[in-house]
Every structure is written in C-alpha cells, then in structure tokens.
Amino acid sequence: MLPGPLLLTPMRKLLPSLVLGSGVVIYLAACTSDSTPTQPNGVCTGTSFTIAALTGRVIPEADLACLSIPADGGTYLVVPQFATASAPVNPVAFTLTAGVPGSATANIVSASRQALPAQAGATADLGQMQRRLDGELRKREREVAAAARSSGAAMGPLASKVHADAVPPAVGSSTSFHVLSSFTNGSQYTTDTATLKYSGSHLLIYLSKNAPPGGFTDSQIAAFGNTFDLDLYTIDVATFGTPSDIDANGRVIVLLSPIINKLTNASACASQGYIAGFFNAVDLLPTQYPGKSNGAEIFYSLVPDPNATVSCTHTVAAVEQLTPSTFIHEFQHMISFGQHSIIRNGNEEDPWLNEGLSHVAEELGSRYYENRFPPPTGRTDPGQAFPDSAQGFISGDLYNSYHYLFNTASTDTSDIASVSNWGNGDGTLVQRGGVWLFLRWLGDQEDSLVYGRLDQTSLTGIPNVEAAAGATFPTLFGEFSLALYTDSLPGVPRSSIPSALRFTSRNLRALYAKQHQRNPSNFGQTFPIQALALTPGSARSESMFPGTMDFFVLTAPSSGSALGLKFAPTSGSFTSSLGAQVSVFHCPSADACPLSIAP
C-alpha cells in the first residue's frame, strides 16, 4: 500500500495581477517582480501598487518603494527574508521601516522577541552522532561523485532495468563486507562476515556472525524484512525514483552489523546518541575504492544488543522502532546519489536539499501508517494525532520544525536557523525542520512527482528546485515564508487563503496545537511563530541568517498618509547573493494575524 495523495491542489500558477476588492483588477507595471526597475534613492519610478485583503505578494528589495499601504487601519503581515543558499553563513543585521516615504524615522526599536522557554521535560540532543556521520558521508559524496565523473560512463543500470530472473544468493549463505569502522577516520574499514537471513523482491538482509546474543530471531528478521521490502522500499522508489544497481542483482542489501554499534562508545550514547544506520557512496564505485567498496547498494544498520556487550544497550524493540525511519531516510540518499552521480555522472546533491528530501521520506513513512490506521485505530491512546506505527517517522520532523518556527531569525550559532543556507554543515535540528517544511509546502503546491524530479536529474541545489517547480527560488521562498503563518489563520476559512500561501496536506496550527496539548514540555505553545510589532513611523533593528525569514505585524493608521516599507542593512548595502526581499500579506482583521498565540 502506498501513502495517500500528497497534493490536494493542481499545479500552481503564477498570477500576473492582483485582485482589489469587488473583482477590480490592477495590473502591476514597472515595479512588479516581473519587471524590476532601478529605484533611485528609494523613490518609485513606476506604477505604485497596494495589496488587497487575503492576498499576498513577494516584493524584491528594489520594488518596495512602489508598495503603498493605505492609512485604512488594516493589518499586514510583513516577512523580510534572504532567499539564498550560497551567502556566507553569518547573521546579517537589518532594519525594517514602516513610514511615509522620504520622512525621517522617529525611532529604532531593538529586538524584543522572547527566548525559547526552558523545557523541563526535554532531553539531550540524541541525534548529534547520526548527524555528524551523515555530514561526513555527504562530504565524502563530493569526492565519490568526482570519481564517478572521471570514469566517463555510468557505473550500472537502474534496479528497474535488471532482468526479473536475476537469482539472489541462497538464504543461509555467507558473504564478507567492508564496513566503515571509524567515526573520525573515514579511511578505516573492517571486514565483517554475515549470513543471508532474508531474501525478498527488493531486499536482502544479512546478519553479522558477530552479532551479540539476545538479538533478532529468524522470524523477527522476516517480519522486519517484509516491512522494508514491501512497504518502505516501495514508498521511496515510487516517490524519488529507482536506485542504481551496480551489481545487477535487482536488490538493495541491508547489513546488520555490530561494527555500526561500535561507531559510538557507550558513554556518548547518553548525551549525543548513536549511529542507527547509513548509506556509504563508496559502495557504488568498487574499482575506485578497493578495500572499502562492496560494489553493491547497501544500507548499514546496528544490531540489537540488549546486554550492552558492544556499546550501549539496544533492545530488539528499540531497533525495530528506530531502524525503519533510518532506512527510509538513508535510502533516499542512496537513490539521490545513484540518480545524480552514478547514472548521470553529475554532482552530488547539495546537503540542505538532500537532507530535506530524506526528511520528506520519513514523513512519507508516517503517511503510510496514518492512511493504514485512521483515527482512532492503531493508537495506544485514541487521542493521539498519529498511530503508534507512525511515531518513529514523524516525531523528529515535528519537533525540529516547531523549534525552527519558534524563532526563525535566531542568531544562535549552535543551532543556526536557516532553511537553505547550511554552508558546509550537516544540518542542525532547526535547519532540518525548516527544509522539511519548505519541501512539504513545495510538494503541496506542485504534486508528489516534484520529489522525483528533484532526484532524477543532474541539477543540484537552487537550479534543481527552480527546474522542478518551474518557478524562481525567490518567488517560491517568498510564498513559502508567508504560508508558514497564513496556512490556517485564526477564525479564517482555510479555503479563503490563496493556495500558494498555505499547505494543503497538513494544517500547521492544528498540528502543533495537538502536540502542545499532549506534550507541552517539548511544544511549549499552541503555535510557535511569534511576530514582532512594526509600528508606523518606527524601524525595527534585527538580525537573521541567510536562507531564513523574520515575521512582523504592521497595523496601518486609520488616517493620514499612506505608508511604505524599507528593508535595508544596518550599514552598507545588501549583497546580491543574499536575495533580500519582503513578502507582504494583507490580513482580513487584526485578530486573524496576532503577534503570537498564547499557550
């Protein structure tokens, strides 16, 4: 069974006009994003424009001088942003001003957004070790992709092209594997001999002969294998595309080895977590990496170790719960690298987009079980938002995205808030949450096929997103930035919000409100976004990293002159690589766009 539909709306269309009340249409001239004039000294030289209630617009920095906000007492959501994936990873100080164009600003208001509240029930970040290894493996893929390109030819067919009569090895037979055995030294490998325990249509599962006692029984491995083979493999392939098949056996290998357990020592498990599993791109280039490559598509997983004989304790139940989400995540990496670099001899995908797609893969696993177990079935507590079987797939995306939205403009360097600008990093928790939200929104705007277009190509990063979506990244990022807030406004029917400015497969406010209700320790508020008040005649002095946005609410005066917006650096000028722009949405009322939602 495949997940349910990921899209509830047709392919998005870019609108060249704005509808202003009673069906009156104003076509935007020289100052629109379709034709951007030079604005000398912040003066509009083209046709000025306003934004009607319940509509929004993405406005390049240079076009802001053409925006006119009438003195009608209306409420506006103002979202400045840096739509980029390539600017230096440093916070950028800026001012946002709402006032009469050409008039002096009365005062500058400094940041006042509250800090993330202490969470008494929160645990340590137990994903550090997995993310660190993922980061190292993604960096290694750059080298491996270059080696693939130097070979001058694709290294093997797609798994779908292999003849159906490809005969797998016999269950019970043994094979030796080269396994990455040092977390800090990527060149250290150890040989492990394993026995084939499961042979399915798409997967072969090998169990190391050195696995500690108390682990999987043969029947448990068979059940484990069926989940991977019939469900998770099918979900990823249907969404992202077919993996490469350099050994021409039509199957992906899963190796359960205690060497993976040993990648993390017992003392690190409690505070930094452990390595659950991974894909290593060197396996796809056996000639170039002798002694390291196994010449096959392999997912490596830890083994149950209930007595902690190898490292920390891992019960059978814990491995059964965690490994499926790790597999569906890492399998996307395997498909991505195979499609980009092995089949097409292109570059490896940019880390932010690659990891984001793997987090989408995790959500797809959750969707499968959500569809299989509609409420209240499949739940220990009927009040759960998600069935028990979906928890391991969706919980990380929910937590990470919530904490990204709590302060999208955070300048905390230990957990940099940025959707698309990761530098050479492996993605912090909030970065992964941010990019999951972006790709979830993108899938809702396009259709589920957009994820396959992002993997089945030699394009990478922003050019890949633009080609797959048929729109510019600034436009996409600007609409997404509004949708995070406008997806489900309080007291406003969701259908009245333009489809480009909302999610269609998830209701963000309802989703987070449910998490707050059931787990207030980790989800401290009903809705995480906290906007700042932008007062007419004043300027906000703030900072944010490239690749993210900040939220402000402006209430226009009820009389007097119209207002304009100015988004400018605190000093100097914005570099072109930042992609500075502002998205503006005209709220139907002040109640619909509050600064924050009380706990």
Q: Are residues 452 and 327 in the same domain?
A: no
Helix (H) or strand (E) holding 175: strand 174-180
Residue 385 pLDDT: 92
pLDDT, tens digit, 9 for 90 and up, residues 76-128: 999 999 999 999 999 999 999 998 765 655 555 555 555 544 443 444 566 78
Read off φ and ψ for residue 525, nearest 5 degrees.
-135, 160
Among 150, 174, 421, residue whose Cα is nearest residue 287: 150
Q: Which two tokens stand for residue 52?
A: 């009607």
Q: Confirm if 371 and 378 have CB atoms less than 8 A apart.
A: no
- Residues 107 and 132 both lie in one domain: no
Average pLDDT over residues 220-241: 94
Judged by DSSP in three states, 392 sits in: helix
Highest mean pLDDT among 264-278, 416-430, 514-528, 579-593 belongs to 579-593
* 1-29: average pLDDT: 33
DSSP 48-99: -B---TT-EEEEEGGGGGGB-B-SS--EEEEEEEE--SSS-SS-EEEEEEEE
Host domain of residue 199? 128-348
- Residues 307 and 164 placed together within one structural domain of the fold: yes
pLDDT at 237: 96
Residue 361 lies in a domain: no
The whole-chain average pLDDT of the chain stands at 86
Name the pLDDT band for 24 (thresholds 50, 70, 90). very low
Residues in the chain: 599
Top-confidence residue, 166 or 391: 391
Whether 360 is in a domain gets the answer no
Which SS3 state, helix, strand or coil, does residue 401 take? Answer: helix
| Maximum mean pLDDT: which of 21-25, 364-368, 536-540, 556-560 | 364-368
Output 17 or 119, whichever has higher pLDDT. 119
Residue 31 has pLDDT above 50, yes or no: no
Question: Within this chain, do residues 206 and 321 fall inside the same structural domain, yes or no?
Answer: yes
- Mark whether 15 and 66 lie in a shared domain: yes
* Gap between the Cα atoms of 7 and 484, Å rounded: 17
- If asked whether residues 109 and 133 sit together in one domain, one would say no
If asked whether residues 141 and 58 sit together in one domain, one would say no
State the pLDDT at residue 576: 93
pTM of structure: 0.90
Residues 378 and 269 in one domain: no
Cα 504 to chain centroid distance, Å, stands at 17
Interatomic CA distance for residues 80 and 139, integer angstroms: 32
pLDDT for position 2 = 41
What is the reported pLDDT for 65? 86
Are 188 and 212 within one domain?
yes
Tokens of 556: 């226009």
Structurally, how many domains does the chain consist of? 2
- Residue 101, preceding peptide bond in cis (omega within 30° of 0): no
Do 110 and 213 reside in the same domain of the chain?
Answer: no
Q: Of the candidates 313, 348, 383, which is a domain's last residue?
A: 348
- Of 207-211, 241-245, 528-532, 559-563, the poorest mean pLDDT is in 559-563
Q: How far apart are CA 284 and CA 343, in angstroms?
A: 11
Distance, CA of 571 to chain centre: 32
Same-domain pairing of 342 and 286: yes
pLDDT at 580 over 80: yes
Closest CA to 86 of 583, 576, 581: 576
Average confidence (pLDDT) over 258-283? 91
Lowest mean pLDDT among 126-130, 300-304, 475-479, 503-507: 126-130
